[in-house]
Amino acid sequence: MLKLNKYFVFASILSLASCNEIPVVIGDVSLPDTDRVVLLEELTGASCPNCPKGTAAVEAILDNYPDKVAAIAIHGDFLSDPIKGRSKYDFRNPKAKDLENWFKPFLGKPCATVNRIDLNDPDQRYATAVTGKWQSMVETELNKPHQVSLLMETNYNPSNRALEIDITVIPIADINGSFSISVFLTESHIIDAQINGSNILDDFEHNHVLRDMPTKFDGDLLGTDFKRGQSFKKKYIYTLPDSGDGLWKPENMEVVAAVHKSGANDREVLQAINKKILE
Amino acid sequence: MRLYLLSHWTYSILDMHHIKFIIVKSLIVLFFTFASITIFAQDKGVFSGGFETNVNMFLRDSSINAINTPQYDHQLVGGEAWLNLNYSIHGYTIGARFDMYQNSNLRNPTGSYSGSGIGQWFISKELNNLEVSAGYLYDQIGSGFIFRAFETRPLFIDNALYGARLKYNFSDTWHLMGFMGKQKNAFDTYSGNLKGIRAEGFLSFGNEDSPVTLAPGIGFVNKTLSDEYMNEIIDVVRTYQEVDKFIPKYNTYAATIYNTLSYKSLNLYTEFALKSDDTFFNPYIEKTELVGNNTLGKLMSATGSVAFVSASFAKGGLGITAEMKRTENFSFRVDPNLTLLKGLINYLTPINRQNTYRLTARYNPAALDISEMAYSLDLRYKFNKSWSANINLSDIKTIEGDQLFQEIFTEVMYKHKRKWQLTTGIQAVKYNQEIYETKAEVPLVKTLVPYADFLYKFNSRKSLRIEAQYMNTDQDYGSWLFGLAEFNIAPKWSFEASGMYNIDPKKTNAKGALEKTLYPTLGIVFFNKSQRYSLRYVKQVEGVVCSGGICRLEPAFSGMRFTMNTIF
């Protein structure tokens, strides 16, 4: 009896292990036909060993979806301190820190929010640490209906370094709720140290680094209950600091604006736009 | 009972929350039915349970980086509690556990988590040779290499299997167990499912006075990814360059074979486990990027294996234990996109010594699942009633030969009648902080820790225990001194004061200064039969907290900590 039962066990194991499954299909990247532009906010840091992986994921997304994604690299607090003896710059700033705290909880860095969609996960509310998921989240957002158009004009005066930003928001559908606008100033092509795994890369190219926000970190209120055909205008004047340390170069800077919900928990971004300060 | 079996097979088509409600309600009804039977039939069942709580009061201290979490910023108090009750009668056992987390930092040490509810329930019934169980179940196969459903509260690990289990006893020594279910995830479950079988037995040969005994076992586990997890994997893999792409599989099969051989004073445990092609995240492998430099870490698919041997010999005052473990690509999670301590299906036994003194335990390695070759040797000898000694050696490398951890630990113990005893020794450690804590371009941490533990008994009730430790190191935080005094008044009270002092700091604090910092602890512990209450003022340096070979980085702590536990 015992011997028979042993044979039964082995036969069961072998029969399970010999089952074949139909292979899954790995599709290609698709480019949706839409006027939507998605906001991708990456929480990163110079002292974050895994963050180059996030940087690479962001660059791949920008490459795959040209003109459809506006990216921001937020060097807030956690693992964002400069690398002792190696970093030339400190990318941290109060608005970046406020944003990072606003996106808590998150599991670790790198992580990113895609249009600030609520992930319904108690460990990572808005920002997911699985870099490989970012692209599919961007794709999902691009496939949603386009509800708001966003226009932006910038005018930079090199003599006094004053930057004028004119934004027009035009709802193309009726949407209930209260809405805000956030404006970000980012800088790219900054060569500085970055931890990569167990190494330090001295000549790492930092892109889309959030330098400051002319608005409040959680946005300036636009209005409530959007009606189709309405328009909202906002004007900001920001003077770029002349830091003298090689940063705040207007030719490397970009203005990013995003219209988003401003509920206590619903922060969904409806539309984003990005424009270089010097075209 | 039939109702529960039926509900198990049909629950997937019903609403999970509704099912949970029905099951908990049914358990309560069942419980009172049993209680009624107990009263009327005067047939006593067995009630047992336990309660445990931790309450932390957070006091901001920027000098040790105890800041920037919701608890320090505005929540101020957080804690956890668990109450479990079990009742057994007429071959039935039912149990439930209430879990509560309020502003807790257990789930995420830098975040805050609140949630409460029925954290676990189960019901089981013995029917002659058959044992049937359903609910949230804890179990394991062999050492746990292919499956271990367990709970480790300090690390927020509760990997119970939510499902059903059958165990059939062919005889007193042979059984077959099978299970199916999902893994628990806090107050929910992960999608995807697990199935497994375990067959274990016992054989004895030779003469009755000194037989050769064998305790063989074999186990098999099948993990099936849910569509949700598979779609997430596909979403990730399709962003990879052609060179890194692979076709993931829904099913992974893992098998293990193990045996304990005993003859006289010799014990030999061997286990070998294999895993079929499985999708897992390898943090050490290079990923080709579309733009810019290549990065480290990607999902990949590969087979895996673990081999483990543990031999021990004890005779007279001598005890020898030698162990070896080789691990290759044995990351086994319900979803490969899960990180840290989430969704672990298996458990990889650590073979290094599990130290208890503060400084000897400071650099403790987690068992690695991608590539590990580990050896340990433990020698103990009791010279006479007064003197005994222990030497322990551990060496852990990657399979490729990179040093991960090495420990040489010595201990000498002297007992002077029943009046006092002294335990002293020295520990030397090499610890790869780059791998265990993902810190860049940091050297191997090398420490030398002499320590002493002196216990003096004034009388049968009062005793004083003093610990002194010194860690010499040029790496990480630098050298440390640790001292502890513990005054015990049996059986009720214990008072303690300890301090950990960064005597030669190598790391700047939040103010950017190299300051010698004291991390004091003051505590009082009260015992009342099976109840234990403790209240402590604690300042604790950032460090790696390990439990049974599973570790995570814990931030610094500053505040008051109350704990209470009891069993009944």
Q: State the pLDDT at residue A11.
A: 56
Beta strands (DSSP E) in B490-549 are 493-505, 518-528, 531-540, 543-547
CB contact under 8 A, A16 and B255: no
Query: Which residue in chain A has the smallest CA separation from B508?
Result: A84
- C-alpha B455/C-alpha B470 separation (Å) is 18
Tokens linked to B482:
């640790």
Residues of B with Cβ-Cβ distance to A108 under 8 angstroms: 339-340
Number of separate domains in chain A: 1
Residue A47 falls inside a structural domain: yes
Residue B119 burial by Cβ neighbours in a 10 Å radius (0-12, 13-18, 19+): buried
Q: Where in chain B are the domains?
A: 133-344, 350-516
Architecture of domain B350-516 in this structure: Beta Barrel (2.40)
Tell me if chain A has a CB within 8 Å of the CB of B512: no
Q: pLDDT grade, residue A7 (50/70/90)?
A: low
Nearest CB partner across the interface for A200, out of B232, B255, B440:
B440
Residue numbers of the domain that contains A68: 32-146+182-213+245-276
Residues of B with Cβ-Cβ distance to A135 under 8 angstroms: 235, 239
CB contact under 8 A, A26 and B247: yes
Residues of B with Cβ-Cβ distance to A60 under 8 angstroms: 239, 289-291
| CATH number for the domain harbouring residue A75 | 3.40.30
Q: State the pLDDT at residue B110.
A: 80
Q: What is the mean pLDDT of residues A51-69?
A: 92
Residues of B with Cβ-Cβ distance to A133 under 8 angstroms: 232, 235-236, 337
CB contact under 8 A, A199 and B440: yes
Residues of chain B with pLDDT under 70: 1-43, 510-511, 544-553
Using DSSP's 3-state secondary structure scheme, residue B406 falls into strand
CB contact under 8 A, B297 and A53: yes
SS3 content of chain B, % helix, strand, coil (to 5): 10, 60, 30
Residue A134 falls inside a structural domain: yes
Pairing of strands B212-224, B251-263: antiparallel
* ipTM given for this complex: 0.80
CB contact under 8 A, B291 and A122: no
Residues of B with Cβ-Cβ distance to A204 under 8 angstroms: 293
Query: Which residue in chain A has the smallest CA separation from B220?
Result: A13
Residues of A with Cβ-Cβ distance to B434 under 8 angstroms: 198
Across chain A, what does the average pLDDT equal? 90
Tell me if chain A has a CB within 8 Å of the CB of B300: no
Q: State the pLDDT at residue B554.
A: 74
Percent of chain A at pLDDT exceeding 70: 93
Q: State the pLDDT at residue B545.
A: 58
Specify whether the CB–CB gap between A91 and A206 falls below 8 A: yes
CB contact under 8 A, A132 and B435: no
- C-alpha B100/C-alpha B81 separation (Å) is 5
- A interface test, pick of B72, B403, B433, B441 with most A CB neighbours within 10 Å: B441
Nearest CB partner across the interface for B176, out of A5, A52, A196:
A5
DSSP 8-class letter at A251: G
Q: State the pLDDT at residue A4.
A: 47
- Per residue in A9-43, pLDDT (tens digit) is 555 555 555 567 898 988 877 788 899 999 999 99
Tokens linked to B105:
């930092």
CA distances in angstroms from B269 to B324, B346, B363, B453, B549, listed in the order given: 11, 19, 28, 33, 19
**B 3-62: CB under 8 A from A:** none
Tell me if chain A has a CB within 8 Å of the CB of B110: yes
Specify whether the CB–CB gap between B493 and B525 falls below 8 A: yes
Using DSSP's 3-state secondary structure scheme, residue B246 falls into coil
Tokens linked to A174:
């009726």
